[in-house]
Amino acid sequence: MVMAKKLTIGFGSAKIPASGDIIIVVGDKGVFGKLGAELDKQHDGLLASAAKSADFKGTANATMDVWTQSKNQAERCVLLGIGGDDDRAETSWLDLGGTILAAAASSSAKSATILLEDPAGGEISGDQAALVAMGMLLRAYKFEQYKTSEKARKAKAKTLPKITVATANSTAAKRRFSALSAVGEGVNIARDLVNEPANILGPVEFANKAKELSKIGVDVQILTEKEMKKLKMGSLLSVSQGSVKPARMAIMRWNGAKSKTAAPVAFVGKGVVFDTGGISLKPGAGMGDMKGDMGGAAAVTGLMHALAARKAKVNAVGVIGLVENMPDGDATRPGDIVTSMSGQTIEILNTDAEGRLVLADALWYTQKKFKPKITIDLATLTGAILVALGQERAGLFSNDDELSEQLSAAGEATGEKVWRMPLGKAYDKMIDSKFADMKNIGGRFAGSTTAAQFLLRYVNETPWAHLDIAGTAMNSPDTKINRSWGSGYGVRLLDRLVADNYEK
Ligand code: BES
Ligand code: MN
Ligand code: ZN
């Protein structure tokens, strides 16, 4: 059983419950399953006739409420479409869970049971049933602790019914869900971090959140400004220079592999708790969104939670650079030249291209210190990636075809999709500087690629991938499994990448 805030989900055997709401699945062309048909019979054919009159066809995620008259039976039955063979992808089961949660949330019953069977007579596996529960967990997420009105208080006090997934494979489902729910919690942690405003969640507070992972066996180390100065992280520190909030770097290590000394997989996150643009100040409209400019760091933190909570058999390290980008008398000016930890110098021509400055030192530190097998960074790096890909896919930039393939496959499977974008010498030339080794902007065109080329100058021989998640991490459109502004994008994608390719 998993409790997430006010959500309780359990698995039970495939039988009709004595009380509470009952949700039955209806397949293609309005076909009922065995249990659905049995329930219909108990109600003298009311369900089937109601479906027929309403022309309810069982299209995936369509729902219809039917109120029965029975005294000791559930009064409310929900017909839930699960569609046909085309609707059996991993993501379809998640979506189904999201729809079930929404139906259950509108109920005043104490319990709701989903009779999860295949109306076409096939079998629903434990894995699939667990995905349905995962979909519920993701959809149930809410961020409303700052709403204090009477109405909001009442809404918050309302408890969800206890949900049971009744399935023939409940034992397998339970086992699988214990791992999946760890990932779901990771997503919800990332969402919380993105949704929190920057007056509440500064670099120090974010680092404290990372520190909390030590409760589940993650080794967490926090670097202070003094320590980062000693390490010569002049690039990262140039970003936080105008802020009264001191910078932090959090290093999270999970050693779950058989060999504790095997090279880890590394994840690096951009954690700009707020991005005003600095002296190259952003326009006012929509600037509030920049509280989400730590979506990369949030995803890395959520991922480390997921890996540790499900005891993944992998050595993993997560490194997040935490800063606030502010204008100030002491802030970095356009034209300033700084020296990064790698020794390379950077002419900062636009203080709003700050994410790459944070990542340059975080990437260098990570590779130097941990000699990882692969390094993947996540960053809400450029507005240009939104122009190119919208909110549908993250931009993928990589020096390695195999890693790119692995990420693309994990993206299609989880629904957290990516699209590979180009890198190359001609783009690299665009960030050569007149005065220093490089400048931090590339000009008007190919903005996402020149940002990635900048990062590539801080990558050694390790297979590396950069995910530009400016379009997918925040300001998220509603989906069946997400109603949150901060989506938690990247946690499920990278957990899947690890599970499929880097666990032994
Ligand atoms: N944090 C922004 C990118 C961003 C934009 C994230 C929209 C989410 C939504 C980043 O630091 C930035 O300001 N990038 C500049 C780069 C430019 C100055 C080269 C941009 O995209 O305009
Ligand atoms: Mn910026
Ligand atoms: Zn930024």
CA–CA separation, 236 and 363 (whole Å): 11
Q: Which domain CATH number covers 150?
A: 3.40.220.10
For residue 303, being part of any structural domain is answered with: yes
CA distances from 288 to 282, 293, 410, 475 (A): 11, 10, 32, 11
For residue 177, being part of any structural domain is answered with: no
Number of domains in the chain: 2
Reported confidence tier of residue 154, pLDDT bands at 50, 70, 90: confident
Quick count: other Cβ atoms within 10 Å of Cβ 10? 18
Domain final residue, candidates 168, 187, 204: 168
What pLDDT score does 296 carry? 99
**374: CA distance to ligand 2 center in Å?**
27
80/204 same-domain check: no
**351: CA distance to ligand 2 center in Å?**
7
Where b means 16+ CB within 10 Å and e means fewer, 380-399 reads: bbbebbbebbebebbbbbbb
24/111 same-domain check: yes
- The protein residue with its alpha carbon nearest to ligand 1, atom 8, reads 470
Question: Phi and psi dihedrals of 479, rounded to 5?
Answer: -130, 180
DSSP 185: H
Answering whether pTM is above 0.75, one says yes
CA angle 57, 61, 64 (to 5 degrees): 60
**87: CA distance to ligand 1 center in Å?**
37
Q: Which domain CATH number covers 465?
A: 3.40.630.10
**290: CA distance to ligand 2 center in Å?**
8
163/211 same-domain check: no
Residue with tokens 């930890």: 341
461-489 residue pLDDT tens? 999 999 999 999 999 999 999 999 999 99
Tokens of 305: 């939670």
164/250 same-domain check: no
CA–CA separation, 300 and 268 (whole Å): 7
191, 253, 356, 480: the catalytic one is 356
For residue 66, being part of any structural domain is answered with: yes
257/401 same-domain check: yes
Percentage above 90 pLDDT, the chain: 94
Ligand (nearest to CA of 278)? 2
406/470 same-domain check: yes
170-211 residue pLDDT tens? 999 999 999 999 999 999 999 999 999 999 999 999 999 999
Tokens of 337: 């030249």
- Is the per-residue pLDDT at 5 higher than 80? no
For residue 127, being part of any structural domain is answered with: yes
- The protein residue with its alpha carbon nearest to ligand 1, atom 22, reads 383
Tokens of 120: 């076409």
Residue from 497, 485, 398, 388 nearest 194 by CA = 485
CA–CA separation, 37 and 50 (whole Å): 13
Average pLDDT, the chain: 96
For residue 410, being part of any structural domain is answered with: yes
Q: Residues near ligand 1 with C-beta < 6 Å? A: 275, 293, 350, 352-355, 380-384, 441, 447, 470
What pLDDT score does 3 carry? 45
Residue from 264, 305, 247 nearest 491 by CA = 305
Residue 295 structural domain: 196-501
- The protein residue with its alpha carbon nearest to ligand 1, atom 13, reads 352
Three-state DSSP at 325 gives: strand
For residue 484, being part of any structural domain is answered with: yes
Q: Which atom of ligand 1 is nearest to the CA of 293?
A: 1
Best substitution site from 350, 358, 359, 381 to test ligand 1's pocket, by max atoms within 8 Å of Cβ? 381
Known catalytic membership, residue 76: no
Mean pLDDT of 429-433: 98
350/409 same-domain check: yes
Mean pLDDT of 8-35: 95
Percentage above 70 pLDDT, the chain: 98
**190: CA distance to ligand 3 center in Å?**
17
DSSP string, 22-54: EEEEEEGGGEE-HHHHHHHHHTTTHHHHHHHHT
387/486 same-domain check: yes
Reported confidence tier of residue 71, pLDDT bands at 50, 70, 90: low
244/293 same-domain check: yes
337-392 residue pLDDT tens? 999 999 999 999 999 999 999 999 999 999 999 999 999 999 999 999 999 999 99
For residue 182, being part of any structural domain is answered with: no
Mean pLDDT of 97-120: 96
Mean pLDDT of 412-429: 98
Question: Phi and psi dihedrals of 21, rounded to 5?
Answer: -65, 145
DSSP string, 238-307: HHHTT-SSPPEEEEEEEE-SSSTTSPPEEEEEEEEEEE--TTSPPPSTTGGGGGGTTHHHHHHHHHHHHH
Three-state DSSP at 388 gives: helix
Known catalytic membership, residue 373: no
Helix, strand, coil share of the chain (percent; to 5): 40, 20, 40
362/495 same-domain check: yes
- Is the per-residue pLDDT at 72 higher than 80? no
Mean pLDDT of 223-238: 98
CA–CA separation, 285 and 287 (whole Å): 6
For residue 185, being part of any structural domain is answered with: no
270/126 same-domain check: no
257-313 residue pLDDT tens? 999 999 999 999 999 999 999 999 999 999 999 999 999 999 999 999 999 999 999
Mean pLDDT of 144-150: 94
156, 175, 282, 311: the catalytic one is 282
200/163 same-domain check: no
